[in-house]
Amino acid sequence: MIRARLLASALTALGGLGLAPLADAQTGAPTRGDWEAIARLPDLGGVWVPDVPDQRRQERANQVPWTAAVRTQIDHLFAEDKAGRPKLLLAHCLPHGMPAWMLISHNAMEILVTPGRVTMLGEGDGNKLRRIYTDGRKHPEDPDVTMHGHSIGHWEGSTLVVDTVGVLPQAYIALSEAVGVPNNGGMHILERIHLRDPDTLADDMEITAPKVLTGTWKTTRLFKRRRGPQFDIIEGQCVQGELTEAVDEHGNAIFERNGTNADGSVPVSR
Amino acid sequence: MHTGIARMTVASIRELAFAAGALLALTAHAHHSSSMYDRTKPVTIEADVVEFRWVNPHAYLTVVDAKPQAGTAPKTWSIEMSSPGVLTRNGWTKRTFNAGDKITLKFAPLRNGDAGGIFMQATLADGKVITYSVDAQTE
């Protein structure tokens, strides 16, 4: 019991510094104190819309330390896009993944701050979701690789510092929807997320990807806050664009793939 | 329902949409560059709306050229635009266009000559002008 109380006071001290949540020492459940601590953090509510004009400025002004071989690919992709033959980096309908989501998305996101967690919910492209654990845990030794990776975070004053590993090698480091390369594995992303002014969120990123970059790439992306129902996130299932509404032989409302019946056969009428 | 188009069956609308060609396969893809469209050569047509698909990743319009050149069959166009999220932040709704609407439509055509394009502007029968831009979300 004494050990539990000592642990609780240690966690309280850490929580006061914003380093870890208070959490009930025995159950791990969030406490009233955890929620009160969140009230002292910057408000990240509302809808965050990417500053797309600034993305375009960054595309030209912020040089990426690509390896020589990758730079050749990038130059080719820029030329192809300019010539009207864009490579469709996101044609697979998977989420953008990290870091492309933060770098090039045109769609909005929400940020939920709860005890032990910060959650980013994106618009469009299916499961666009980042879970950032702020409960003091470390990365797993051998994380499953995913489109958004494994993220741990902590607050340094009013800045959320996020460390991400375990991103699928296929996830793009992208400058636009037509220019970018897969990170090819071993990527590490460090972010410092903070309010630049009351309604502008800055994500200062440091991307290390030894397979495609010669050094750490530092870049910033901006998001503008919008409040009000007219700016709400719209559910966006990317794969829905490949489906059409139909009615089956029982009268059920179903989806079918464009140009094919549900069983994959081509309708006779076509 | 005051036009022939509005009376079309769902099946015939979908066949028309299918006939709009390769662009459908393109619009099914997630967000992508729009450089396959030639914004330097915009096309403006009088058009009848066949269908307005309010879906991700891109909404699109299927329209028929209402004033085809003499001796030619009316052309069906598939016109892509941004996602419902971006369009909503520009004031659009799923009812911004409706089957049977008569509109003046300006779009950037596909460079490869297929019957598709990306939306630039539309004027509705009541004179209302419809536009959007991704930048407008933050302006």
- pLDDT less than 50: residues of chain A: 1-19, 262, 268-270
Query: In angstroms, rounded to a whole number, what is the distance separating the alpha carbons of residues A50 and A47?
Result: 10
Q: Quick one: pLDDT at residue B3?
A: 39
Q: Of chain A residues 124-163, which have a CB less than 8 A from chain B? A: 124-125
Q: Of chain A residues 44-63, which have a CB less than 8 A from chain B? A: 49-53
Tokens of A70: 């990758």
Q: Quick one: pLDDT at residue A260?
A: 58
Evaluated on CA atoms A158, A164, A170, A175, the torsion sign reads positive
Q: Quick one: pLDDT at residue A207?
A: 98
Buried residues in A141-174 as b, exposed as e (16+ CB within 10 A): eeeebbbbbbbbbbbeeebbbbbbbbbbeebbbb
* Closest residue of chain A to B16, computed from CA coordinates: A270
Q: Quick one: pLDDT at residue A4?
A: 46
Q: Quick one: pLDDT at residue A237?
A: 84
Tokens of A19: 């380093």
* Closest residue of chain B to A81, computed from CA coordinates: B35
Count of CB contacts below 8 A, A vs B? 124
Buried residues in A71-97 as b, exposed as e (16+ CB within 10 A): eebbeebeebbeeeebbebbeebbbbb
Tokens 């709860």, residue located? A114
Helix axis angle, A2-16 to A32-39, nearest 10°: 10
Q: Which helix (H) or strand (E) holds A81?
A: helix A68-82
Expressed in angstroms, the distance from the first to the final Cα of chain A is 74
Tokens of A150: 């494994």
Q: Quick one: pLDDT at residue A59?
A: 83
Q: What is the DSSP string of A8-19?
A: HHHHHHHHHTTS
Q: Quick one: pLDDT at residue B29?
A: 53
Does the predicted interface ipTM exceed a cut of 0.85?
A: no
| A227/B contact by beta carbon, under 8 A | no
- pLDDT one digit per residue (tens) for chain B, 139 residues: 333 443 444 444 444 444 444 444 444 456 678 889 999 999 999 999 999 999 888 999 999 999 988 888 899 999 999 999 999 999 999 999 999 999 999 999 999 999 999 999 999 999 999 999 988 877 7
B29, B31, B137 ranked by CB distance to A124: nearest: B31
Is the backbone of residue B114 left (phi > 0), alpha (psi -120 to 50) or beta? beta
Instruction: Say what the pTM is.
Output: 0.83
Query: In angstroms, rounded to a whole number, what is the distance separating the alpha carbons of residues A43 and A207?
Result: 26
With contact defined as beta carbons under 8 Å apart, do A255 and A243 qualify?
yes
Q: Quick one: pLDDT at residue A263?
A: 54
| A228/B contact by beta carbon, under 8 A | no
Tokens of B47: 């058009």
